[in-house]
Amino acid sequence: MSAAGYSRQEMMAIATGREIKDGELAIFGVGLSMLAGYFAKEHHAPNVRAMTEGGVFGATPVGGLPWGIECNRISANATSFTNALDALGFLVASGRCDVGIIGAAQVDRFGNVNTTGIWEGEIGADYRPPKTRLPGAGGANDIACGAKRTVIMVTHEPKRFAERVTYLTSPGYLDGGDSRDRFGFQGGGPSAIVTTLGILRPHPDTREFWLDSWYPFSSADEIRANTGWDLKAFDHAREVTEPSLAELAALRRVDQTGALRKEK
Amino acid sequence: MGMGKLISLAEAVRRFSWDGMQYASGAALPVGSDAVVFGRELVRQGRRDLHAVFHASSQQLNLLAAAGAVAKVECGFSGLEVFGFANGLRRAVETGRLLLEDYSNLAMALRFLGGALNWPFVPATTNIGSDLQYRSAFSGEGRPKIPPVRDPFSGREIGAFSPLRPDVAAIHVTLADVAGNAIMLGTEWSRFELSRAAKRVVVIADAIVDQDCMRQFPNLVRIPDIIVEAVVHWPFAAWPQASPGMYDVDEEHMVLMNKALATDEGTASYLQTYVRGYQDLDGYLDMIGRNRVEVLSRSETSFLVDPFRRWIVPPEHLAGLRGEAA
């Protein structure tokens, strides 16, 4: 908890929520992603059309952060239950979904995400088991391919910010430049990497992620020191606006159990 | 009610499983509706070398992997959401005891759809350009994973996904009649597609209802009896996961189970207590704890079952319905 009375995780959730605009068709994952999304709905985007990748529509979590995206905490007030093919296929792969929020164990300078595993060194041509197995793609790959834009939420640590992900689970801008374009994805790629220290955004030509902003409690130098590539900064890079009392109150109404207040 | 397919869990596993088969379940999400108890029975009966096809991981797959019952897995997600990594599965993958082929959640649903439609392959633009396309745990088998294919209309390269037609699917449902008509409350995830893709379907129902219930809500019967081989009645079949309308996730046991499956000793102890620790349904509910059964049943979602309650067959009336035509 900072002197200002909010945690880094809360700042990250608020900064992510600010990326969501009213009326958008949005898909949220479990955990931080859902908190950021429902914060936006509570604070400035009351008409956001939220769904989960299981096909739960019209629901607001009750009794605390859902344990999963189909948990009873998000199934107690839904207006429609359908299925994965509907949510991830008909509504995301089709190109209809405006924005998705995804997490990352590792992210690289072109916004590619790894959530599959950690290997020591290069994996090599053949399959070999990871040193640490992570949860895999889930719907994040589908959201990264299909949503009009994605916001990546990740704790800012050097081990997570790599020059190149060891395993590319969900595509950002691949090798940068126009390399994503040749796959013909419906989705446009990540518009921001929002972290516990600041916000990075892609350079319009190279698609490399540059420093866009830092928080009241962080700095450009601290962000550079925690980023595994030579991080450049936009000329317009600045400090983000501190969370307002209204924002914090809205976030804490959503985060009833205080998951974000426990400083990691 | 004619055409009864109601059989015991033990008999269902005896008749509809064998070593080395391609076994599908977990067509729900990791903390929700999955036929977890079917997996416990697979372990009790010593099934081996399963080729598991789980849309997303669940405690069932976690248990099967920890118990060494699975040789290979195809899935879209291998964690337990907010409960973290699935330790049994993770350990089996990291030690190389089990080969895990990664897809995404949409890819798995599309592959079930392809199997259901008997398509030769499913074209899609998801997963391409990533290591999901380029890396295969099954590369030793010499079959391409997601080969590129040219769209004959636009001329661009997209991905070709192999359809799935599992030998058997064990599908958790909320309500079923003894003929096999089934209603799922909550998201279906991919249980609808899987029920058409699998060669044989066994439904595991939290409650059995009179067929009049299905005649009242035919639009909700997404799994009709004509594609179902057997019906198993087993309350708390998804425990410790949740079944919307019936019971909440058992947070304490989710943690206990995953912690146990993180080691060999813990797994042995878990199998002793929670897999071999009951003889029948009564013993199973005793094992969960009758008090806990009560608490978990008081779900914020209970109202979802209200329209169906009048048709739920009391457990004491089920014995007479069992095994009529089975």
**Does pTM surpass 0.90?**
yes
In a domain, residue A2? The reply is no
Dihedral over Cα of B316, B179, B213, B27: its sign? positive
When pLDDT is cut at 50, 70 and 90, the band that residue A125 belongs to is confident
pLDDT for A32 equals 87
Interface residue of B74, B101, B111, B131 to substitute, partner A, most A CBs within 10 Å: B131
Q: What is the ipTM of this complex?
A: 0.96
Give domain B9-57+165-321's CATH superfamily. Glutaconate Coenzyme A-transferase (3.40.1080.10)
> For position A219, which CATH number holds?
3.40.1080.10
pLDDT for B3 equals 60
pLDDT in tens, A153-202: 999 999 999 999 999 999 999 999 999 999 999 999 999 999 999 999 99
pLDDT for A234 equals 98
In a domain, residue A263? The reply is no
How far does chain B reach from its first CA to its final CA, in angstroms?
A: 13
- Chain B residues in contact with A127 by the CB 8 A cut-off are 99, 135-137, 139-140
Task: Please judge whether B32 and A31 are an interchain contact, meaning their C-beta atoms are less than 8 angstroms apart.
Answer: no
Q: Which domain holds residue A130?
A: 8-254
The total number of structural domains in chain A stands at 1
Count how many pairs of residues, chain A against chain B, have C-beta atoms within 8 Å. 212
In a domain, residue A262? The reply is no
Identify the CATH assignment for B120-161 out of 3.30.30, 2.40.10, 1.10.110, 2.40.160.
3.30.30
Closest of B289, B267, B315 to residue B43, by C-alpha: B267
State whether residue B301 sits within 8 Å of chain A by CB. yes
In a domain, residue A27? The reply is yes
Q: How distant is the Cα of A189 from the closest Cα of chain B, in angstroms?
A: 13
Domain ranges of chain B: 9-57+165-321, 120-161
pLDDT at A256 over 90: no
pLDDT averaged over 10-residue windows placed end to end, chain B, 326 residues: 82 98 88 96 98 96 98 96 94 96 98 98 97 95 95 95 98 98 96 98 98 98 98 98 96 97 98 97 97 97 97 88 55
Q: Which of A61-70, A113-122, B30-39, B232-241 has the lowest mean pLDDT?
A: A61-70
In a domain, residue A133? The reply is yes
pLDDT for B325 equals 41
pLDDT for A263 equals 58
Residue B53 contacts residue B21 (beta carbons within 8 Å) = no
Q: How far is CA B39 from CA B5, B58, B237, B271, in A?
A: 20, 10, 10, 12
pLDDT for A2 equals 53
Q: What percent of chain A has pLDDT over 90?
A: 82
In a domain, residue A259? The reply is no
pLDDT for A61 equals 86
Distance between CA B223 and CA B27 in Å, rounded? 13
